[in-house]
Amino acid sequence: MIWFTLLLVVLVLAALWASMTTTLLRATLGLALASALLSVVMFSMGATLAAAMELSVCAGLISVVLVSVASLTRPRSIQEEIASRRSRLRRIWPLPLVLIAGGVALSFVHAPVDIVLRLPAGDGDVRTVLWSMRQLDLFGQILILLAGALGVLVLFRKEAKDDD
């Protein structure tokens, strides 16, 4: 239990580093680290398929997208950087204190919770659930993927027209 709790603490620390660090590249690395740690957490809990998806898609693909966005934008001047860093520091510094206080306060709560779900039985293999019980989810996923691809196409076509 100690190892698992430590893993969760490191996960929150990685997310905190992603929120607080000064450069976008470091923030992206922090997010990738948090995703990788979350996939380890999921794997420990027995969610192997979700862990593999989290590691490959969130820690891999999304990090690549975010690094690409950071590299395609104009770097700030030194004056802009200093001014932005000061104003950001003023807004972000209470965050670690809030997280520590929240974590300590919640660690004292031990109220009993009844989380028995009133759902139909049939919880076996994830593939069976996905293909037999959640077909509508799969249909929605396909629609969302197509909508996303179309959205990106429309965005870049408009930008190419603007460049002409």
Q: Per rule CB under 8 A, is residue 139 in the interface with other proteins? A: no
Smallest distance, other proteins to C-beta of residue 136, A: 10
Q: How far apart are CA 164 and CA 37, in angstroms?
A: 45
Binding residues among 80-99 for other proteins as defined by CB under 8 A: 84, 87-88, 91-92, 95, 98-99
Can you tell me which of 12, 81, 82, 85 binds other proteins, judged by CB under 8 A? 12
Can you tell me which of 81, 82, 85, 145 binds other proteins, judged by CB under 8 A? 145
CB atoms within 10 A of CB 69: 11
Smallest distance, other proteins to C-beta of residue 125, A: 6
Residue number with CB closer to other proteins (82 or 147): 147
* End-to-end CA separation in angstroms for the chain: 60
Residues 40, 51 contacting (CB under 8 angstroms)? yes
- The upper half-sphere exposure of residue 72, i.e. CA atoms within 13 Å in the direction of its Cβ, equals 6
Q: Per rule CB under 8 A, is residue 27 in the interface with other proteins? A: yes
For 21, phi and psi rounded to 5 degrees? -65, 160
